[in-house]
Structure 1
Amino acid sequence: MLTLSVVSPKSLTKKPEILFLVRDRYPFKCKQFFFQRDTTCCREPAKTAIATNHPVAGNDHAAIIVAHGARHRMHRRLPGAQQLLRGIETYPIDMRLRRDAARLAVAAMELPVAQPGRAGHVERTRAAPQAVAHFLLGPEQPGVVAVAWSGRGQRRWRAALLDEREQPLRQQQVRAQARQRAAPPAITGDAQQVARAIGRSTGEFERQVDTEQHACIGLGADLVVHHRLGADVRRPPLHMDDIEQQPAHVPTGRDGEAERCRRRHQHHTGRGDAAFAVGGMETSLAILWGLAGFTLYLYRDPARPGFDLALGACIGLGLLTRVDTVLWIGPLVLAHWIAILRERADQPLWRRIPWQTWLTAALIVLPDFFVRFVILLLTRCVYRIRAVGLDRLPREGGALLVSNHASWVDALLLSALTQRRIRFLMDREISRWRCLRPIFRLMNVIPISAQDTPRRLLEALHAARAALDDGYLVCIFAEGALTRNGNLLPFRPGLERIVKGSSYPILPIYIDGAWGSVFSYYRGRLLSSLPRQIPYPVTVLIGPPLPPHTTSAEVRRAVIELAGQAFDLRRGPDRTLPAAFVRTARRCWFEPAVSDTSGRALSFGRLLAGATALATELDRAAPDQERIGLLLPPSVAGALANAAVQLCGRTAVNLNYTWTPATLAAAARQAGLRTILTSRAFLEKLALPAPPAGSVCLEDLAARLGPWRRAAALLRAALAPARRLTPRPPGPDDLAAVIFSSGSTGVPKGVMLSHHNLLSNIDAFNMVLHFRPNDRMAGVLPFFHSFGFTCTLWCPLLSGFSVHYHPNPLDGARIAQAVRERRLTVLLATPTFLLTYLRKAQPEDFASLRLVVAGAEQLKPRLADAFEKRFGVRPLEGYGATELSPVAAVNVPDREIDGVRQVGNKPGSIGHPLPGVSVRIVDPETGAPLPDGVTGLLLIKGPNVMQGYLGQPARSAEALRDGWYVTGDLARVDGDGFVFLGDRLARCSKIGGEMVPHAAVEERLNEALGALAPVLAVTAAPDDRKGEQLVVLCTPAAGALDALADRAAQLDLPNLWKPRRENFFAIEALPLLGSGKLDLARLRELARELVAARAAAREG
C-alpha cells in the first residue's frame, strides 16, 4: 500500500525519484498546513510526500509533489491517496486550499512509478528528475511539470531517462544548469523534447496521444506548453504578480490560464476529479475480471454454448477497453447479468456466492461509476435516445444546463447523454425518497424546494455555483416543478443567480417524447398505462450556448424554439396522414370510428376497408390529377372520402359549400381541380343551379364496387403491408391539403398545408388536451374549415377515439339531442355556434361534456360565464389561423396532481402556445421585439406554419418573415406565458395619429346593451380631417340609434374611441361567413356605402 503524507519540506530526507512542482492558483497567505498520516505495508515501505507551504517569493504559494519507492506496483498507489483525500475533506483549512490539495493528491495517484531495470540504476537516477525540473523551471520560480502515463512500458520510459544515447537533455547538462541556478533557457520544442525524452524508446507516446492523455503539461515562468495530439502550443507565461485577488469561484490569472489547464487535465484523465482514481486500478479490475471468469466457470453449460461465448466476448472486450470507465465496467456488468439469467433455481447457495460477491465488490470499490453505468444501461434499454447538438456540450469546464421538465426520468435521460458528470438541482422531497436516496447521494444532487427559506435557497444556488467552479456540468429544471398539463411553465429567475458575474455558458435543452410516457403525468398519474413501444423514442436537443447575462424569459424562449426543432425532427417516411391512419385503424380495428345523425356508423377497420376500396376507384377515375376537390358536409361519407383521397396519394381540397356558385368555380380554377367528389343527395339539398364542373358522385363510385372488390379491399386493409395501401406514398413535406381561408379580411386564399404541418399540429393538440381512447367527439365543424379539417376529422381518426358528425352546426336542437343520446364528451365549436346551443339546449343535454373548446373568433367572457352557469363546463378559448394548420395556442383545464395545482387557463387569454410553437411580440412599424406585457404585433413560428399561399408567391413572402408567420393580430404575453389577444391590425383605425381598436369599442357597446350575442359591429370609413372615422352598424336588436349614441357618449372611453352620433347606422343583419365569423370585408363595404350615401344626401 502506498502511503501519502503531508509534511514540511524541511523534513524530506530522501531525494525524490520524481519531482512535481505545482504552483497554486490562488494568491493568499498560506498558514502552516500540516497533515501527517503514515501507514506501511508490503515488503518494502513506500512513501510519498505532499508538501505545501513551500516559500517561493513573497506571498506566492507552491506545493511539491514527490514520490519515491522501488518495488510497488501501480495499483498500490490507490489506498494511500484515498486516505489523503479523506483527511483533506475533514481537515479545517481554507476551502480553496482544500480543493487544490485534493487535486494534488489525485494527481499523485496518476504518478507513473515502476521498477527500474536493475538495482544499480536506483542510485544513478535519484537526482535526475529533480535536476530536470530545476533545469526547466529554475530553483526560485514556481511552475508545473506533469507527466501522465499508463501502466504499460513504464520500465522502459524510466530506462529512457537514463539512456544518454537517446536522451536530448543529457544528465551532465541538466546538473550543470542546476548548479548554476540559471533561468530556464528557451528550448526549441520544449514540451515535445521532454515528451520524446520520456517516451521515444517505448513507442507508447503515440498511443497515449491517441487516447487523449496529455503527455506533458508545462506551466512555467517563461512558457506554458500544452502538448496534446502531437501539437506544440505556446502560451504566454503566467506570473503571480498578474493574478488579482478574486473570489474563490472566479478563475484567476491571465485569462484564467491556470483554471483552463486544470480543466484540460480533468478532461484528459477522466472528466472529473473522481475519475482520476480509475486509471490506476489494475488490481481491482483484475479481481473483478477474475470473479467474472469464476462465475463463467461455475455456470458453464455444454447445452447452451451461446452464453459462454457471450460471457467470453464481454470479458475480452472489457480487457481491451479498460482505459475508459464506462467501456470496461459496462461489459463486466453485462457479463454478470447474463450469468444471472443462466441461474437455475435448483443450484445451491455456494454457486450464487461469486456473482453476489462481485456485485458487492463493485458497489464498494466504484459505487459512483457502477451506479452511473447501471442507470445508463437501464436508460438505454428502455429508451431510444436521439441526441441533437451534443457537440455543444463543453468537453471541459463548467456550464449550466437548463431543460424542460416533462417526466420523472429527465435526469436519467440527460445523464445518459455524456460521460461527463452532471449535478442536478432536484426537488428536496424527491431527494429524500428512501429507496433512491443512496443513488441521489452518489449523484451529488443539490436539493432545492420552492418552499425553502431564502437562506436555504441561496445555499442551494451557491452549491450549484461551486459545482460550476469545480468544472462540473450543472443542470436545473427551471420550471420548478414537473409539468402536469404538458405546457412549458414559466422559468424561475434562480438560474440567473447561479451564473451571475461569471463566464459560464447557459445551454438550453429540450427533451421531446418524455411527455406522454409512463413516467409523466399525461394520464393523470404515474405508471397508469403501458408504454406504447419499447424502446421508447426520446429526442434531446441542445441549443447554442447563451451568455451568462441571459434572462430566464430569454432562456425559456430558446427552449421553446428547440421544441419546434424537435417536432421538425419527427419527419420520416411514415409521418404522413395515410400511414398514420393505417396504423391507428389496424390498432383499433373493432373500435367505433365515425358516425353521423343519419344513422350510419363505421368502425376503424370498416372505415379503412371502405377508404381502400374507394381509393382504388378514385385512382382509376383521376389517374393523373394531383389535387381532388371535395364538396361534402361533416358526415361518415365526408370522412370516408377524405381518407380515400389521402390513401391514393392526392391532395385534398375541401370546398366551401356556402359560397356562391361563382366563388366556388373561381376557387376550383385556382386549385386546378378537374374532379370534385360530392354526393347527389347533398347537391339536392344545396339546390345549386348546376353541379360543379367535374363532379363525381360517391353513389356512382360505390355502385362499381361489387362483392368481390369489397372483400378484396377488406383483406388488403387487414393483411397487406401498409405501403401497399398507398400506391403513391407521399412524403412528409408533400402537400396534404389546400384549405381556403375564411376570407374575413378579403378574398379567400388557398393555404398549402403539408403532412408534417397537420401531424405536428395534431400531436401538439393531443399533448395538452389529453384525449382519451374512450372520448367521443361532437363533429359539427365543416371540413372546409381548417379547425374542422384538422381537429374534428383527422385528430380523432389518428388518435383512436370516435367522432359523431352532424352536417349543420347551427341546428342546436339536433346537436343537443346527439350529445345527450351518444354521451359525447368533447365539443369543438365557434363562439357563434356555442351561443346557439346555449339558447336551444337543456342543462341535461350537455351533462356528459368534459371539454369544450371555442376557436375561430374571440370568446366573450359573458358567453363563457353563461355557458358554464347553464351546463357546468366552461368553454376554453383557443387561437389559430388557417395558415397555422390551424391551432397555435389554447387554454387547457387546470390540473391538480399529487398536491400540485397548475393553472392552465386565464380569463381573457388564448392560453399558452402549443408545444413546439414559438410566439414573438414585435413593434408593428419597426419589427423590433417587445418585452413581456407590452402589446404589439403577434408573430408565430413552428412546425405548423403553412408552406405558402397557392399560386401567390408574393403574398406568401409578405406573410412569412424568416419562418415567422405575421398574424396581423395585436397581442401581449404576460409573465406566466399566457397570450392575450387584442384586435386585428386590419381592424384598427389610425385617428388623429392614435391607433383605435374596433373590437374594444364594439365589446364595450355590446356590454352596455347587455347582449350575449353581437348586435352591432364597429368598422371604419375614410375621413378627410382625421384620416379615418369609426362607423357603427346596428341590427334591430340594438334598439334605437339615438339611445345607443347617448350610451356610447357616456362610456368611459377616450374621446377618439367614441363614434360620432351621425355614424350610427341601422342594418338588417350583420354579414357573416359560413364559419360564423364576421365578414369584415363586407362590413367595410357597407360602412363606406352608408357614409357615401349620407354625404351625397347632404350635398343634394
Structure 2
Amino acid sequence: MKKLICAAGRLILRLLFRVEVRGMENYRAAGPRAVIMPNHVSLLDPALAALFIPDEPVFAINSLVARWRWVRPFLALFRTWSVDPTNPFGLKGLIEELKRDQHCVIFPEGRITTTGSQMRAFDGAAMLADKTGAVLLPLRIEGAQLSHASYLRGRFPVRWFPKITLTFLPPRKLEIPPEVKGRRRRAMAQTFLQDLLRDAAWQVRDSGRTLFGALLDARRLYGRRRVIAADIGRKPVTYDGMVRAALALGDLFGGRFNPGERAGLLMPSSVPTAALALGLSRLGHTPAMLNCTVGAQNALACCRAAEIRTVIGSRRFVEAGKLGALVEAMESAGLRFLWLEDEARALGLRAKLTAWFQARFTTPETAGGPDDEAVVLFTSGSEGTPKGVALSHRNIVANRDQLMSSVDFRPSDVVLNAMPMFHVFGFVVGTIMPLLSGMYTFYFPSPLSYRAIPLVAYDINATVLFGTDTFLYGYARSASPYDFYSVRYVFEGAEKLRERTSRMWSEKFGIRVLEGYGTTETSVVSLNTALQCSAGTVGRVLPGLEARLEPVVGLEGVGRLFLRGPNVMMGYLRSERPGVLQPVEDGWYDTGDIVRLDELGFLSIRGRAKRFAKIGGEMVSLTALEEEMERLWPGVRCAMAVVRDERKGERIILVTEKKDASREEMTAHLKAAGYAEVAIPKKLLPVGKLPLLGSGKTDYPALDRLASETAGAAE
C-alpha cells in the first residue's frame, strides 16, 4: 500500500510539474553514510525529497511541525525523526542512525525562503557529519520557488505548474582540521555548510549563454511587460522595450561596421547605452566602453589597443561633460564619430516595425556564442597606460550568476546605478546583473552629482546602491538622514572602504556598507554579504572562483593573489600590439594584489604589489601607511608617493591635502603605531588636491610624477 501511494504521488508530481532528477551519479558516489541537504523553497519540498530520493532515508523534522494534524498522516509513510531545534541533544538519535550506514535528510535552512535566495544555514547537518564521518550531499531544488506553494508571491512571478528539477551535487567531506575545537569548530562548520549551499546554487545555473540570449530568457521568466529600466529622461522601459531598442539600435549602427569590428562607445549611463551595447554584441560587433575621464592621450591609446576606428557618441553627453576637446583630439587622430541623436532620426517607421515584430514574434538570432567577445572595458590607468580587457559573454553571465548565488537580490529590488558603464562595476554589476534578474534599474549619468543622487534615491525608493568609497562619502555628506530610507543594501568597491565612510552611513542612515573587491579583468571577486560579513575585509571569494596565494619575499602571513574561474577575462589588448589578444596564461590571472586569507575564507587586501616600497631591504606597505594617515587626520586625503633614492633604493613622500600637516605629528603617530624609522616618510608635500581618476581612485602615476618633480627641484 505504501509503495502504491508513493508511486501515485511521483506520477502526479511528474505530470503536473514535469519533475526531473539529475546528478544520480553523485548520489551513488556518496556511499552508504550521507547527510542529504536540500534547499527549502516551497511547501512542496518535503514531498519532493521523500518521493524522489532513492532508498528510504530518515527525515529530520521539526518537533513543532510534527504536531500539525495535516502532517501526521504523511509521517506514517516515511521514516522520520522529530528534532527540537532549540535542544542541542536532539540530534543524538540521528547520529546513531547515521552510524548504522543510513542516509539522513535535513533541511539546513530550517525554514522556507522568503527572499528567493539562500537563508541562514544552521550547523546541525555539519555536526551530524562531524560526529559520524558521513559525507554532506547537497540537493538543489529548482522551480518550486516559482509555484504557488512558495512564499514568494508578489516578489517573484509565480505560476501554477512550473517545471521542477532536483539536482544532486558532488558529495563533500567536512574539511576542518582535527585540532580545531569548540566555538571555532562550530563557526568553521557553519561556514563550510553555508558554502555548500551557496556553491550548489551556483553549480545548477547555466552561464553558457550570450548576453542577448540571457536577456530573452529573463523576459520569458519575468514577463514581457515588466518595467526594468529608466534614466533621467524618466521614460520607463519594459523587457519588450529593451529588446526592441537593442534590435533597432543594433541594426541601425551594425551596418556601419565591418564584420567583427569593435565599436567605441562614448556614452552616458542610460537606457540607450545599455540597449546599444546589447544590440551590437548580438551582431558580433564588440562594444568598447570608452572612459571619458582619462584624457585624450590615454583615450587614443585605448582606441589603438582595441583597433577602434569608429566611435558612437552622444552630443548631449559631450556638451554636458564638456568633452569637446577630447572629441576634437580623437577626430584629429583619424577616428570617425557617429552621433546617436543624428542617426536615431534616420530610424524610420519600417525599422521600428521590424524591431517590434522581431521582439514580439520571433527569437532573434545572435552572432557567435558564449565564449566570444561580448565587451571591451579598459583598466583605469592608475598604474600606467590603460589596457583593454576583453570579456566574453560567459565571463559576464557567470559573474552575474555568482552574485545571484551569494546575495539575496530580488526582482522587487530597485537599483540606483550611478557608476559609469565604462567601469566594470557600472557595466557588469550595475547594468547587466539587474537587467538579467528582473530588477528595476535607474541609470544616473554621473556619480559626481553628490546632491542629486540622494534625492533620486528618495524619489525612486531605491533599495540597492553601488558606489566607490569616494562617491558614497560624498552622497552621505550631502543627503538628508531620510533620503536613503528605503535602501537595504549598499555595496562598495573599486577602492578601500574608509572607516569614516562606514561610520557615517551607519550613524546617519543606519545602513551597513558592504565592501567587496573586484578587478576589470574578473568583475567581482569577493563580497561581504548579510549572511557572511567580516568588518575590515572584502568578503569571501565568490563560488566557482579558485584563489591561490603565492609567497612574497619579505612579507609574512600574506601572498600575491592569483585567480582562475569562469569570470576571468579572455585577455588583454595593449596599445603596443593593437588588436592582438594576449590571453591569460594557464587560466590563472595575476591580480597584483597582496592579500591575507583567514581561516574562515575572508580576504583582506594589504595593497598592490606595486604599492610596496623596498627601503634598505625592508618591504613597506604604502597602503598601510595611507590607512594610518586616515586615522591620524580623518577626512583628509593622503597618499604615499615613491621616488628613487641613490642610497636606499626608494624613498617615500607623503602627499596630503592637509595644508598645515606636520611631519613631527606624523612621525610620532607612526612610531606609536609600531612603524620602524625606515618606513616613515621623510618628506611631506601639501597640495591643493590629489590627482584623481574618474572612478575616484588616486592617480598614482601622476602622483609619483608630481613627487619626483618636487624631489628633483629640492635637490
Q: TM-score range by the shorter chain?
A: 0.7 to 0.9
Match of 1:494 among 117, 127, 133: 127
Question: Deviation at 1:440?
Answer: 4.4
Write the letter of the residue equivalent to 1:922: L
Match of 1:972 among 594, 597, 605: 597
Residue deviations 1:453-491 (CA, integer Å, cap 9, x gap):
45x44443233212x1xxx33456667887776278586
Write the letter of the residue equivalent to 2:595: L
Write the letter of the residue equivalent to 2:132: V
Q: Which residue of 2 aligns with 1:509?
A: 138
The change in CA–CA distance for 1:798 and 1:663 in structure 2 (over 3 A counts) is same
Is the contact between residue 413 and residue 439 of structure 2 (CA under 8 Å) also seen in structure 1?
Answer: yes
Unaligned residue ranges in structure 1 (runs of 5+)? 1-361, 894-902
Percent identity, aligned pairs only, is: 28
Residues 1:782 and 2:416 aligned together: no
Distance of 1:549 and 1:442 partners within structure 2: 40
Q: Which residue of 1 aligns with 2:359?
A: 717
Residues 1:420 and 2:43 aligned together: no
Question: Deviation at 1:656?
Answer: 0.8
Distance of 1:763 and 1:520 partners within structure 2: 25
Is the contact between residue 892 and residue 904 of structure 1 (CA under 8 Å) also seen in structure 2?
Answer: yes
The change in CA–CA distance for 1:746 and 1:441 in structure 2 (over 3 A counts) is farther
The change in CA–CA distance for 1:397 and 1:882 in structure 2 (over 3 A counts) is closer
Is the contact between residue 486 and residue 515 of structure 1 (CA under 8 Å) also seen in structure 2?
Answer: no
Question: Deviation at 1:496?
Answer: 4.8
The change in CA–CA distance for 1:626 and 1:836 in structure 2 (over 3 A counts) is same
SS of alignment partner, residue 265 of structure 2: strand
Q: Which residue of 2 aligns with 1:530?
A: 158
Worse-superposed segment, 989-998 or 680-689: 989-998
Q: How does 1:800-815 map to 2 (within 5 A)?
A: 800-815=438-453
Q: Which residue of 2 aligns with 1:33?
A: none
Distance of 1:517 and 1:1026 partners within structure 2: 65
SS of alignment partner, residue 663 of structure 1: helix
SS of alignment partner, residue 722 of structure 1: coil
SS of alignment partner, residue 475 of structure 2: helix
Q: Which residue of 2 aligns with 1:78?
A: none
Aligned-residue Cα RMSD (Å) equals 4.0
TM normalised by structure 2 equals: 0.83
Q: How does 1:949-1028 map to 2 (within 5 A)?
A: 949-950=572-573, 956-958=583-585, 960-961=587-588, 966=591, 968-975=593-600, 978-990=602-614, 995-1011=619-635, 1014-1022=636-644, 1028=650
Residue deviations 1:515-570 (CA, integer Å, cap 9, x gap):
955599885x9998625971134533224778999998699769958966875664
Q: Which residue of 1 aligns with 2:311?
A: 676
The change in CA–CA distance for 1:661 and 1:545 in structure 2 (over 3 A counts) is same
The change in CA–CA distance for 1:836 and 1:453 in structure 2 (over 3 A counts) is closer
Match of 1:1031 among 644, 650, 653: 653
Write the letter of the residue equivalent to 2:162: I
Question: Deviation at 1:733?
Answer: 1.9
Q: Which residue of 2 aligns with 1:104?
A: none
Residues 1:1070 and 2:703 aligned together: no
Is the contact between residue 735 and residue 753 of structure 1 (CA under 8 Å) also seen in structure 2?
Answer: yes
Question: Deviation at 1:1059?
Answer: 0.9
Distance of 2:552 and 2:122 partners within structure 1: 29
SS of alignment partner, residue 260 of structure 2: coil
The change in CA–CA distance for 1:881 and 1:394 in structure 2 (over 3 A counts) is same
Write the letter of the residue equivalent to 1:887: V
Distance of 1:992 and 1:972 partners within structure 2: 28
Is the contact between residue 400 and residue 476 of structure 1 (CA under 8 Å) also seen in structure 2?
Answer: no
Is the contact between residue 988 and residue 995 of structure 1 (CA under 8 Å) also seen in structure 2?
Answer: yes
Residues 1:754 and 2:392 aligned together: yes
Question: Deviation at 1:722?
Answer: 1.4
Question: Deviation at 1:1031?
Answer: 3.1
Is the contact between residue 592 and residue 610 of structure 2 (CA under 8 Å) also seen in structure 1?
Answer: no
Question: Deviation at 1:875?
Answer: 2.5
Q: How does 1:36-435 map to 2 (within 5 A)?
A: 362=1, 367=2, 369-370=3-4, 372-374=6-8, 376-377=10-11, 380=14, 381-382=16-17, 384-388=19-23, 390-394=24-28, 398-401=32-35, 403=37, 405-407=39-41, 419-431=54-66, 433-435=68-70
Aligned residues: 689
Distance of 1:1058 and 1:520 partners within structure 2: 62
Match of 2:699 among 1066, 1070, 1079: 1079
Match of 2:537 among 909, 913, 918: 909
Q: Which residue of 1 aligns with 2:346?
A: 704
Q: Which residue of 1 aligns with 2:281?
A: 646
The change in CA–CA distance for 1:392 and 1:768 in structure 2 (over 3 A counts) is closer
Q: Which residue of 2 aligns with 1:1053?
A: 674
SS of alignment partner, residue 521 of structure 2: helix
More helix by share: 1
Residues 1:828 and 2:466 aligned together: yes
Distance of 2:666 and 2:171 partners within structure 1: 57
Distance of 1:482 and 1:1029 partners within structure 2: 59
Question: Deviation at 1:1008?
Answer: 1.5
Residue deviations 1:890-912 (CA, integer Å, cap 9, x gap):
3334xxxxxxxxx5534323334
Match of 1:660 among 267, 278, 295: 295
Of structures 1 and 2, the larger Rg is shown by 1
Q: Which residue of 1 aligns with 2:549?
A: 922
Distance of 2:207 and 2:550 partners within structure 1: 37
Is the contact between residue 628 and residue 651 of structure 1 (CA under 8 Å) also seen in structure 2?
Answer: yes
The change in CA–CA distance for 1:434 and 1:701 in structure 2 (over 3 A counts) is same
Is the contact between residue 1041 and residue 1065 of structure 1 (CA under 8 Å) also seen in structure 2?
Answer: no
The change in CA–CA distance for 1:754 and 1:395 in structure 2 (over 3 A counts) is closer
Q: Which residue of 2 aligns with 1:889?
A: 526
Distance of 2:289 and 2:19 partners within structure 1: 39
SS of alignment partner, residue 883 of structure 1: coil
Distance of 1:691 and 1:871 partners within structure 2: 44
Residues 1:632 and 2:267 aligned together: yes
Question: Deviation at 1:788?
Answer: 0.6
Q: Which residue of 1 aligns with 2:323?
A: 686
Write the letter of the residue equivalent to 1:795: M
Distance of 1:957 and 1:717 partners within structure 2: 37
Question: Deviation at 1:787?
Answer: 0.8
Is the contact between residue 512 and residue 566 of structure 1 (CA under 8 Å) also seen in structure 2?
Answer: no
Unaligned residue ranges in structure 2 (runs of 5+)? none
Match of 1:873 among 511, 530, 539: 511
Question: Deviation at 1:657?
Answer: 1.2
Distance of 1:1025 and 1:438 partners within structure 2: 85
Is the contact between residue 248 and residue 355 of structure 2 (CA under 8 Å) also seen in structure 1?
Answer: yes
Is the contact between residue 407 and residue 519 of structure 1 (CA under 8 Å) also seen in structure 2?
Answer: no
SS of alignment partner, residue 799 of structure 1: coil
Write the letter of the residue equivalent to 2:551: P
Which of structures 1 and 2 has the larger relative contact order (alpha carbons within 8 angstroms, sep 6+)? 2
